[in-house]
A and B are shown apart, each in its own frame.
Chain A
Amino acid sequence: ETGVTQTPRHLVMGMTNKKSLKCEQHLGHNAMYWYKQSAKKPLELMFVYNFKEQTENNSVPSRFSPECPNSSHLFLHLHTLQPEDSALYLCASSQERSSYNEQFFGPGTRLTVL
């Protein structure tokens, strides 16, 4: 265990559904991240939050909507997704303003869009 938990671990949804992914870190970090891991592609950074403020949006479509109510929790709200959005969504956390910025990853949510 890395101290980063994600729920649900698996999610199947239709294109018209609305669902949310949840991430929680127990490491006392102040930065959190969403990544997308698709087959045969590098991990893609989606969003970065520092001290609850979004500091990076890596040109992610608006059908993905992040929310960070506090430094320990991060959500990814999903609506009207496309089949190509099926992937493993990973959450990570780190201590911002550390020289090293080692990121700790959760187990991911395996999302399938039908």
Chain B
Amino acid sequence: AQSVSQHNHHVILSEAASLELGCNYSYGGTVNLFWYVQYPGQHLQLLLKYFSGDPLVKGIKGFEAEFIKSKFSFNLRKPSVQWSDTAEYFCAVNGQGAQKLVFGQGTRLTINP
């Protein structure tokens, strides 16, 4: 069965620290990969996505993610976080052409000023 695992449930960092959030997936086929962010009181919005091509994907607000096929991973990174990055982050995957999007449990990120 398809599944997505986000190992970090709650991450607390200080401003300017570097960030890496882990995401591993289990899926038997070609995949599309997504990171969504949910700021407090706001809707889920897309941070970045990977469909094909360059495995290093750049998104909004300075975020990037790297698809490592051999490790079934799609980790999210940011070199220097800001207080405004405090939010919940969700990794998601679907098969190419498939509609069902499978989400991870989410990682709550708290940035202390």
Contacts and interface: CB of A to CB of B under 8 A. Distances in A.
A104 B106 CA distance: 17
Most buried by A among B36, B44, B103, B105: B44
A42 B90 CA distance: 9
A102 B34 contact: yes
B94 A101 contact: yes
Contacts of B96: 99-100
Interface stretch (B45-53, B56-64, B72-80): B45-53
Most buried by B among A40, A43, A45, A56: A43
Interface in A95-114: 96-97, 99-108
B32 A107 contact: no
B101 A103 contact: yes
Interface in A1-27: 2, 4
Interface in B87-107: 90, 94, 96-106
Contacts of A2: 43, 45
A31 B45 contact: no
A100 B33 CA distance: 9
Contacts of B36: 105
A97 to B, nearest CB: 8
A7 B12 CA distance: 33
A101 B97 CA distance: 7
Interface of A: 2, 4, 31, 40-43, 45, 48, 50, 55-56, 90, 94, 96-97, 99-108
Interface of B: 4, 32, 34, 36, 42-46, 49, 51, 90, 94, 96-106
8 contacts: A2-B43, A42-B90, A45-B101, A50-B99, A55-B99, A100-B49, A100-B51, A105-B36
